[in-house]
Amino acid sequence: MTDDPLAHAKEVAGRYAAGLIEDGMTVGLGTGSTVFWTITALGERHADVVCTVTSHRTEALARSLRLVVVPPDELGRLDIAVDGADEIDPDLNLIKGGGGAHTREKIVADMADRFVVVADQTKLVEELGAFGVPIEALDFAPGVLAARLRDLGAHEVVRSPERSDNGNLLMRAWFGPLTDPEGLAAALAALPGLVEHGIFPHEMVTRVVVSDNQGHVVERLRSADAC
């Protein structure tokens, strides 16, 4: 364990979620510094699971721990997926994609019967928006897309020097507080050339596992019978 309280919180939340995964399950592995600990814990206990991954770096980590990794099409559906988040609102809507992996993360989360989000408490917000909305876009007309994002209310659009694992452009757009995340998500999804955005509606989320700096875990379920 580390002396850094934030790093400790990430480790506690990540390891806790590994306890929700049983041998024999098919598992989606997310990307980031919190789910890193879920994957590490699965490797440490030699979990007998079959995994699919959301990024090259998660694949490298999982394989280094001798976890079985197969392409998503080989599984079709998953018993559970675990991933981090950049913002979580009180309704369990999420912003994801700070690591540029949100397109694959959304596909894998959508494949899962249960999608578990792991986070330190700094990710809890009253309203989504301060982080901005990560965008993956085709490298064809990014200026046109930026203009469309401004038409939808973005006051700032920034292009990342990084590319996604899919080879596409990564951008982030700030719209102020997202008072209607589902409405914005639908509007973004309709923009030509926008591959995927980082708004994950609460319907996708089964359970959120949050740790505070003392390592106390609080769980939020989307509904009482969700798990």
Residues of this chain that bind ligand A5P (CB under 6 A):
30-34, 83-86, 96-102, 105
List the catalytic residue out of 87, 105, 136, 196.
105
Minimum CB distance to ligand A5P, residue 81 (Å): 11
Task: Please list, residue by residue across 135-165, b when 16 or more beta carbons sit within 10 angstroms of its beta carbon and e when fewer do.
Answer: bbbeeeebeebbebbeeeebeebeeeeeebb
**Closer residue to ligand A5P (CB): 39 or 141:** 39
Spell out where the chain has E strands: 26-29, 50-53, 68-69, 78-83, 87-88, 94-95, 112-120, 133-137, 156-163, 169-174, 194-197, 199-200, 207-211, 217-221
Catalytic annotation present for 105? yes
**Closer residue to ligand A5P (CB): 143 or 202:** 202
Q: Which residues contact residue 122 at a Cβ distance below 8 angstroms, ignoring those fewer than 6 apart?
A: 6
The residues annotated as belonging to the active site are: 105
